[in-house]
Amino acid sequence: SLVAEMRDTYARRRRMVVEALRAVPGLTCAMPDGAFYAFPGIAACMGRTSAGGRMLRTDEDFAIALLEEQRVACVQGSAFGMGPYLRLSCATGDDVLMECCARIAEFVGGLD
């Protein structure tokens, strides 16, 4: 059925994103149950400075800097009572998701 096909697609994309984020030093990422969101933990990034010069004091600072410097949109986990985490949607194409993960890795790798 179409529903089963979409469920399987989202599950595959979720696994793909979580695995890519787990490979980034400084991030943690648990496998979510059934959602099409990933929630990478960014606690190790707090107190650091982005390549663009933004001090990352909160997950909101991280989300804003990630958008401005890498053009990756996400929502700070604290908006859902889950700080310091990010909420990333896995509801887009594989290529876009992998590009976003690569940009996140570049952003985190450039922290001072």
- The pLDDT assigned to 32 comes to 87
pLDDT in tens, 87-107: 999 999 999 999 999 999 999
Q: Which residues pair with 7 in a beta bridge?
A: none
- Domain CATH for 67: 3.90.1150.10
Domain carrying residue 42: 2-109
Average pLDDT (6-24) is 95
Average pLDDT (63-74) is 98
Instruction: Identify the sign of the CA torsion 55, 51, 72, 13.
Output: negative
Count structural domains, the chain: 1
Going by pLDDT thresholds of 50, 70 and 90, the confidence category of residue 25 is: very high
Token pair recorded at residue 23: 């490979």
